[in-house]
Structure 1
Amino acid sequence: MELRQLRYFIKAKELLNFTEAANQLFISQSTLSQQIKQLEDELGTPLFNRVGKHVYITEAGSLFYDYALQALSKANDGLQLLKDINGLHAGRLSIGTTYGLRHILTPAILKFHKAYPQINLEVVFGTSQELTHRLEKFELDFVLTFEEVTHRPDIKHQPLFDSELGFIVEKRSPLAKLKTISLKEILDHELALPAKGYSTRRFVDEVFAKNKLTPRISVEINDIPTLLDLIETGNWHTILTHTTVQNAARLVSVPIKAVKGMQHAAIISMKEVYEKRAVKAFYDILLKAGT
């Protein structure tokens, strides 16, 4: 069994299209088919059902996929370990983050780049669910999120800070002068909220449900910058963590009375994955900023 065969199998499983998988791997379709057939022969079971021009993953293929991902990850860990012996003079760092944590990520990137200019950085924004899924597929080195992952032996959780929810309004609104606002008072106003899938939205829904209240949600959107643009028009209000609008000049966060729950900002990563020296260096910057 060769690592390239595992790479070919993983790509074919994810795309379920041998032609497209071969194109993305920069090999011929015949090479891809041959290598997967050799892998199947070695395993003694088909990984794909081939029906005409279509391929479908078998039960064995679905089960083998997770192990193939782990095998490639371990191999990459070994290679990275050897590269790290020479210090932080090359490499790549892939970071996933939710929008509400950009205020802590931006200065961290500046400090990291100043200290290690040879390290290339990739930053991916998304929902907690999307980013955790990409982390599990080893596409990201770590994730910054308000999603608290508990009772998962494969996830490492490093707390950064806590942030309360706020009622976000345009600064010229009369509501911006309020010291606090209650959940019942919020019912009088139209809301634009993050789409379902965002950890903050899930938290907001739980708060209203716990108090047996139904907010007036007229807009749901899966892009936080656009959501904030809508709030700046003054036509809608929203509920987000205070830190999400920390640097927004045209928005004000009004504390919500009787809502004591906190959103917990944290770094999450896979426990069994070797952590590159670049990852640990970035952690140090983030943890110092979060204290």
Structure 2
Amino acid sequence: MELRHLRSFVYVAETLSFSIAATRCCVTQSAISQHIKALEDELRCKLLIRTSHSIMLTESGEALLPRAKEILKQTDDCKEQINALNNCLVGELRIGVGSFIAPYIRMAALIFMERYPNVRINAEFAKAANLNHLLRSHSIDLAFTLNSAYKNEGIKSEPCIPFRIYAMMRDTHPLARLERVSYEDLLRHNVIMPDVGERVFNTFQQYLRYDLMKLNVKCIVSDPNEDLAIVEETHCVTFMPKLYLKSHPTLTVRPIVGLEHDLMSNAHWMKDVPMKRSAQLFLDIVRNEAIPYIKTLEEAMR
């Protein structure tokens, strides 16, 4: 029993008009007649009595009408629920966020939550290796990290968020008097190193021709804001995107010689399952709204 046949029958039964039913179903009157005949053939009974002047329901037609309407209602309800889920009106979006790019994801999350209030975001902040593990176990739907996934992990990676790393220190720090900070400058000062994980550290090292292991690292901190809180209380230097100044106005940044270009983070998701509609919408917000907005903010910062 096909839904289009039931729908044609219901419209004819309710309006007692083949022409009106054809208009509502966006088909021809002959198609409506074919649908009714197919339904009658399947049920092996007459549903309508059609004369040149009127249309009447048979006893079988009267019995079928409420059941057909209920079937169509349940079908429409099912479609509405699935469409709501696919259009990110309900459900849960699980994302993983690595170091450095959290402010970008925070901005995208604010936009997303306002636009899709019935979707709950579950955000996991962790190192890249941990996020890759969560992806492979399908514990998260989408991850944002600096590293690229290994080929044997079954993870799809695409470039996503461009960002730039600066040397960050107090306004009163000696390096704050320089326009740019060199590797030799950094060797003369204590450093608080963000704990970005081995994968990200190795990726970051590829952009530099200097050995970061020679820096005078006094402390390694996994939380960016705790890292910056220590810098606010000491004469140490750390490395962060400029956007973190927004929450730490007593600090300043200087470009690092050899690192005056954008780095690129990646978005990751598993290849063996379709990407959630909510994940795609979140990714679109990151690329099309959060990144341009944050670039404008960064340009206004000292």
**Shared fold by TM > 0.5?**
yes
**Aligned twin of 1:219:** 219
CA contact under 8 A between 2:187 and 2:215: conserved in structure 1?
yes
SS in 2 for 1:265: strand
CA contact under 8 A between 1:160 and 1:290: conserved in structure 2?
no
Q: How many residues align?
A: 211
Instruction: Using the TM superposition, give the Cα deviation of residue 213 of structure 1 relative to its aligned residue in structure 2, in angstroms.
Output: 7.1
**Aligned twin of 2:149:** 149
Q: Distance in 2 between matches of 1:94 and 1:213?
A: 35
Identity percentage of aligned residues:
20
Structure 1's 213 and 273: CA in aligned 2 closer, same or farther, altered over 3 A? closer
Q: Distance in 2 between matches of 1:94 and 1:131?
A: 11
CA contact under 8 A between 1:96 and 1:125: conserved in structure 2?
yes
Q: Distance in 2 between matches of 1:245 and 1:130?
A: 27
Instruction: Using the TM superposition, give the Cα deviation of residue 207 of structure 1 relative to its aligned residue in structure 2, in angstroms.
Output: 6.2
Structure 1's 203 and 93: CA in aligned 2 closer, same or farther, altered over 3 A? same
Residues 251-290 of structure 1: matches in 2 within 5 Å? 251-259=251-259, 262-288=262-288, 289-290=290-291
Instruction: Using the TM superposition, give the Cα deviation of residue 82 of structure 1 relative to its aligned residue in structure 2, in angstroms.
Output: 10
TM-score (normalizing by structure 1): 0.63
Instruction: Using the TM superposition, give the Cα deviation of residue 225 of structure 1 relative to its aligned residue in structure 2, in angstroms.
Output: 1.8
CA contact under 8 A between 1:191 and 1:216: conserved in structure 2?
yes
Residues 104-115 of structure 1: matches in 2 within 5 Å? 104-115=104-115
SS in 1 for 2:285: helix
Q: Distance in 2 between matches of 1:208 and 1:159?
A: 20
Instruction: Using the TM superposition, give the Cα deviation of residue 83 of structure 1 relative to its aligned residue in structure 2, in angstroms.
Output: 5.9
Q: What one-letter code is carried by the residue in structure 2 that aligns with 1:290?
A: I
**Aligned twin of 2:181:** 181
Give yes or no for the alignment of 1:90 onto 2:90.
Answer: yes
Instruction: Using the TM superposition, give the Cα deviation of residue 270 of structure 1 relative to its aligned residue in structure 2, in angstroms.
Output: 0.8
**Aligned twin of 1:131:** 131
SS in 1 for 2:101: helix
Instruction: List per-residue Cα deviations over 1:214-236 (Å, max 9, x = no partner).
Output: 11111112222211111111331
Q: Distance in 1 between matches of 2:177 and 2:130?
A: 36
TM-score (normalizing by structure 2): 0.61
Residues 1-291 of structure 1: matches in 2 within 5 Å? 84-87=82-85, 88-149=88-149, 151-152=151-152, 154-195=154-195, 197=197, 199-203=199-203, 210-211=210-211, 214-245=214-245, 247-259=247-259, 262-288=262-288, 289-290=290-291
Instruction: Using the TM superposition, give the Cα deviation of residue 124 of structure 1 relative to its aligned residue in structure 2, in angstroms.
Output: 0.9
Structure 1's 200 and 151: CA in aligned 2 closer, same or farther, altered over 3 A? closer
Q: Distance in 1 between matches of 2:104 and 2:209?
A: 31
Q: What one-letter code is carried by the residue in structure 1 that aligns with 2:83?
A: I
Instruction: Using the TM superposition, give the Cα deviation of residue 274 of structure 1 relative to its aligned residue in structure 2, in angstroms.
Output: 1.6
CA contact under 8 A between 1:180 and 1:254: conserved in structure 2?
yes
Q: What one-letter code is carried by the residue in structure 2 that aligns with 1:272?
A: D
Structure 1's 132 and 243: CA in aligned 2 closer, same or farther, altered over 3 A? farther
Q: Distance in 1 between matches of 2:106 and 2:212?
A: 38
Structure 1's 278 and 212: CA in aligned 2 closer, same or farther, altered over 3 A? closer
Q: Distance in 2 between matches of 1:222 and 1:254?
A: 22
CA contact under 8 A between 1:208 and 1:214: conserved in structure 2?
no
Q: Distance in 2 between matches of 1:153 and 1:205?
A: 23
Instruction: Using the TM superposition, give the Cα deviation of residue 84 of structure 1 relative to its aligned residue in structure 2, in angstroms.
Output: 3.6
Q: Distance in 1 between matches of 2:133 and 2:253?
A: 31
Instruction: Using the TM superposition, give the Cα deviation of residue 208 of structure 1 relative to its aligned residue in structure 2, in angstroms.
Output: 6.8
Q: What one-letter code is carried by the residue in structure 2 that aligns with 1:172?
A: T
**Aligned twin of 1:64:** none
Ranked by relative contact order (alpha carbons within 8 Å, sequence separation 6 or more), the top structure is: 1
Instruction: Using the TM superposition, give the Cα deviation of residue 204 of structure 1 relative to its aligned residue in structure 2, in angstroms.
Output: 5.2
Instruction: List per-residue Cα deviations over 1:55-84 (Å, max 9, x = no partner).
Output: xxxxxxxxxxxxxxxxxxxxxxxxxx9964
SS in 1 for 2:130: helix
Q: Unaligned stretches of 5+ in structure 2?
A: 1-78, 293-302
CA contact under 8 A between 1:84 and 1:277: conserved in structure 2?
no
Structure 1's 205 and 266: CA in aligned 2 closer, same or farther, altered over 3 A? closer
Q: What one-letter code is carried by the residue in structure 1 that aligns with 2:146?
A: F
Q: Distance in 2 between matches of 1:275 and 1:204?
A: 28
Instruction: List per-residue Cα deviations over 1:63-116 (Å, max 9, x = no partner).
Output: xxxxxxxxxxxxxxxxxx996434433211111102422221122112111221
